[in-house]
Chain A
Amino acid sequence: MSEGVPTPASATSTASAAPAASTRGASADSPRGAPAASTRGAAPDRLGRRARRTAGGARRSGRAGAARSPMAAPVSFLWTRRILLTLLAVFAATPLYVMLSSSLKPLQDVTGSFRWIPAHLTIRPYLDIWETVPLGRYFLNSFIVSAAATLCSVVVATFAAYAVSRYRFRGKRVFTVTVLSTQMFPGILFLLPLFLLFVNIGNATGIALYGSRGALILTYMTFTLPLSIWMLAGYFDSIPRDLDEAAQVDGCGALGALFRVLVPAATPGIVAVGIYAFMTAWGEVLFASVMTNDVTRTLSIGLQGYSTQTEVYWNQVMAASLVVSVPIVAGFLLLQRYLVAGLTAGSVK
């Protein structure tokens, strides 16, 4: 968490930032910026002119350097930042460290008093987790359900967002408001009726939805749909209409314009929606607890299998938690810049 000099963007700015930082404390009463005037010779012309025009020239010399790196910070800020970010990092990292270190301990070391530094290291828990509960099957189930739900959700949301972003039609407002407002309904409100609905559909048509992966896929994809549509529509809005209209003039057709122009241009938004949908499906607990059976059980419920034995195998629990987290955390961290970009376009208008 060591910090360098804030934004030494170029050679000229480093040169001017150094004196600026050192004089910052006294800058308020420094005489009309003689030192700043000399450094500003190297600064971009536009900036220098603007600075001179404000309030009779080079007032507050020290700030002239700060103008180019707006966050070139006083010492109080730097120390506040150091302390607060360290505390936050400890808060964020401690459980992660415990997860990792405990997963490498033998069982007797996790049942006794906690130790920061493991006394013995073993990879045994990573071998045992597959035996204690059928973790492989849970893994496969979670993957099938999450991948299918993500794929469907992204495709359906793309179509809907295209309509919302590019067309005016009657009922548009009703649609968007209704869809978005479902986001705030408590999941518990849907749980019982959906449970009954799937049971009754099964009774009436013979399609065994209840307990099947299909029911979970259907549920998850719909639950991620509202935010996905909203984010994607925002993203489409940020793409100039001329682009897809030109494609339509060239004879692409509305869908051609969508797939050849909008979808490639909106890749960050689509990736963001995909991450969101996959993470939601991978982590969902409430519906998985009711709508799965022994065969279709997903990780969210399956992991509790280590805790229901007479003894809790904490080292295996930690190892299994780590194993199921690694793929999703890695994917998330690799793609998070898309998520930031997607959120920026979708939510900040």
Chain B
Amino acid sequence: MTRGDRRSTAAPAPDPAASAVPPPAPAGAAKDAPRDAPASPGHAPAPPTPSPPSAGRGTSALRDRVRHAGLPYLLLVPALVLELLVHIVPMITGITMAFRDLTQEYIRNWGAAPWAGLDNFHIAVDVNAPVGEALLRSFAITCAFTVLAVGLAWLLGATAAILMQDTFRGRGLLRALFLTPYALPVYAAVITWSFLLQRDNGLVNHVLHDQLGLTDAPPFWLVGDNSFFSLVVVSVWRTWPFAFLMLTAALQNIPRDVYEASAIDGAGMWRQIRHITLPALRPVNQVLVLVLFLWTFNDFNVPFVLFGKSAPESADLISLHIYQSSFATWDFGAGSAMSVLLLLFLLLVTAAYLLLTRERAPRATRSCGTRRRKRAHV
């Protein structure tokens, strides 16, 4: 999509979007306007232009300035329209839905659903009632699952990335193998795992029971308490290659002379890893851990494919829980209230995380890096 005649590849591209987006005009205008009509109403969607478009008609210098002020907004219009339609508007809708008594009969015309005030939230957080209790349990399970899965995924990814920083025979092949679980479509990977975890004909029980004889009877892995660990293993298997990929990319940015200098100073392999590699990874870790946390916490795909629509209690992740309680009872108001609570929680955690890590991360790495480099030039 990048080779050949750029103009012609660019021109038809927005069309599929245009056919799907109800207001397609701005998407088309975004491209054409700056070329043919410098100060035309094509600039209208750009909200705060410093000078009104009509003023630019006088001199070419002024026109250029208007063009420059408007162009970034025009370039953003397609993205903005999509974000508004698919993210922002539904989100606001979702938040308003949480305050309505939105049950099955109002699906076709949800605007007619009566306002419910905070009722939905009361139901969701009332720990003594069954709904609130189930939500709280699901939340606790999700927290435990996320901590375990993210920690393990990061650990495996970092281990592999650091051990494979140096070239050795077969490294390319091994890297391809490690990345394959991440490249597999979720459902294909998880269906395969569900076969491995079958009680009677799965590999896990074959190894544990038949070959090693660790259990008296073949245990169930997809129902009951064991399903929590199944979920963790499957999730780690799928996500650790992503940590590996990100950290591998980050390791390539560490300048070689830092290692050389420290080696001259007498730092051994393990000290280099502890004092150069790990601190240099800190900025990437900041993003990586956050992304892993959000993906894992919100994970719907893995439990949905692994357990089907009804997850066992011990593996009832919050996304699946909300999905089930919304579509099982068609009480979308309560489901939305739960989603909003989930969103608030994620916002809080993310904000706290960013505040905490911003304080420390850059200073630590910079001081370490410069100290090393300074020593190298003594």
Instruction: State whether B90 touches A155 (Cβ < 8 A).
Output: no
Q: Does A63 contact B (CB under 8 A)?
A: yes
User: Min CB distance, B153 to chain A, in Å?
Assistant: 12
A321 to B175, CA, bound (A): 22
Residues of B within 8 A of A134 (CB): none
Which of B115-123, B187-195, B223-231 contacts the other chain? B187-195
Q: Does B34 contact A (CB under 8 A)?
A: yes
A81 to B20, CA, bound (A): 51
Q: Pick from A164, A188, A191, A282 the residue with the most CB of B within 10 Å.
A: A188
Instruction: Given A167-B72, A205-B22, A347-B249, verify A186-B201 contact (CB < 8 Å).
Output: no
Instruction: State whether B20 touches A215 (Cβ < 8 A).
Output: yes
User: Min CB distance, B230 to chain A, in Å?
Assistant: 13
Total residues of chain B contacting the partner, CB 8 A: 134
A303 to B189, CA, bound (A): 12
Instruction: State whether B305 touches A286 (Cβ < 8 A).
Output: no
Quick one: closest A residue to B184, CB to CB? A325
User: Min CB distance, A209 to chain B, in Å?
Assistant: 7
Q: Does B29 contact A (CB under 8 A)?
A: no
| Chain A interface size, under 10 / 10 to 19 / 20 to 34 / 35 or more | 35 or more
Residues of B within 8 A of A303 (CB): 187-188, 191
Instruction: State whether A279 touches B263 (Cβ < 8 A).
Output: no
Which of A10-18, A48-56, A122-130, A239-247 contacts the other chain? A48-56
Instruction: State whether A67 touches B260 (Cβ < 8 A).
Output: yes
Quick one: closest A residue to B272, CB to CB? A70
Interface of B is mostly: helix
Q: Does A47 contact B (CB under 8 A)?
A: yes
Instruction: State whether B174 touches A203 (Cβ < 8 A).
Output: no
Instruction: State whether B1 touches A154 (Cβ < 8 A).
Output: yes
Instruction: State whether B13 touches A300 (Cβ < 8 A).
Output: no
Instruction: State whether A190 touches B90 (Cβ < 8 A).
Output: yes
Residues of A within 8 A of B47 (CB): 171
A236 to B80, CA, bound (A): 20
Within 8 Å by CB of A4, from B67, B168, B192, B332, lies B168
User: Min CB distance, A341 to chain B, in Å?
Assistant: 8
Instruction: State whether B166 touches A324 (Cβ < 8 A).
Output: no
Which residues between 38 and 90 of chain B lie within 8 Å of chain A, taking CB atoms? 47-48, 67-69, 71-73, 75-76, 78-80, 82-83, 85-90
Instruction: State whether B108 touches A253 (Cβ < 8 A).
Output: no
Residues of B within 8 A of A310 (CB): none
Q: Does A187 contact B (CB under 8 A)?
A: yes
Instruction: Given A321-B191, A347-B249, verify A7-B266 contact (CB < 8 Å).
Output: no
Instruction: State whether A283 touches B270 (Cβ < 8 A).
Output: no
Within 8 Å by CB of A113, from B201, B264, B340, lies B201
Q: Does B140 contact A (CB under 8 A)?
A: no
Instruction: Given A4-B168, A333-B176, verify A255-B35 contact (CB < 8 Å).
Output: yes
- A306-349 near B? 1/0 per residue, CB < 8 Å: 01000000100110011011001100110010011101100110
Instruction: State whether A197 touches B169 (Cβ < 8 A).
Output: no
Q: Does A102 contact B (CB under 8 A)?
A: yes
Residues of B within 8 A of A229 (CB): 79
Q: Does A157 contact B (CB under 8 A)?
A: yes
Quick one: closest B residue to A66, CB to CB? B263
Q: Does B126 contact A (CB under 8 A)?
A: no
Quick one: closest A residue to B242, CB to CB? A343
Instruction: State whether A347 touches B284 (Cβ < 8 A).
Output: yes
Which residues between 261 and 286 of chain A lie within 8 Å of chain B, taking CB atoms? 263-264, 267, 270-271, 274, 279, 282-286
A139 to B270, CA, bound (A): 49
Q: Does B154 contact A (CB under 8 A)?
A: no
Instruction: State whether A179 touches B83 (Cβ < 8 A).
Output: yes
Instruction: State whether B85 touches A218 (Cβ < 8 A).
Output: yes
Instruction: State whether A283 touches B294 (Cβ < 8 A).
Output: no
Instruction: State whether B185 touches A1 (Cβ < 8 A).
Output: no
- B97-128 near A? 1/0 per residue, CB < 8 Å: 10000000001101000000000000000000
- B14-41 near A? 1/0 per residue, CB < 8 Å: 1011011110000000110011000000
Instruction: State whether A328 touches B183 (Cβ < 8 A).
Output: yes
Residues of A within 8 A of B361 (CB): none
Residues of B within 8 A of A171 (CB): 47-48
A54 to B265, CA, bound (A): 7
Which residues between 127 and 170 of chain A lie within 8 Å of chain B, taking CB atoms? 148, 151-152, 154-157, 159-160, 162-164, 167, 169-170
Interface residues of A (CB under 8 A from B): 1-4, 6-7, 47, 50-51, 53-55, 59-60, 63-64, 66-71, 73-74, 76-77, 80-81, 84-85, 88-89, 91-96, 98-99, 102, 110-115, 148, 151-152, 154-157, 159-160, 162-164, 167, 169-172, 175, 178-179, 182-194, 196-197, 199-201, 203, 205, 207, 209, 214-215, 217-219, 221-223, 225, 229, 253-255, 259-260, 263-264, 267, 270-271, 274, 279, 282-286, 289, 299-300, 303-304, 307, 314, 317-318, 321-322, 324-325, 328-329, 332-333, 336, 339-341, 343-344, 347-348
In the complex, 8 of the A-B residue pairs with CB atoms within 8 angstroms, ordered by the A residue number, are A70-B260, A76-B270, A81-B163, A85-B164, A112-B201, A196-B332, A255-B31, A347-B287
16 more A-B residue pairs beyond the given contacts A199-B107, A332-B179, with a C-beta to C-beta distance below 8 A: A54-B265, A80-B163, A89-B178, A92-B180, A92-B181, A155-B14, A156-B82, A160-B75, A169-B69, A179-B83, A189-B91, A189-B336, A190-B86, A193-B93, A225-B79, A328-B185
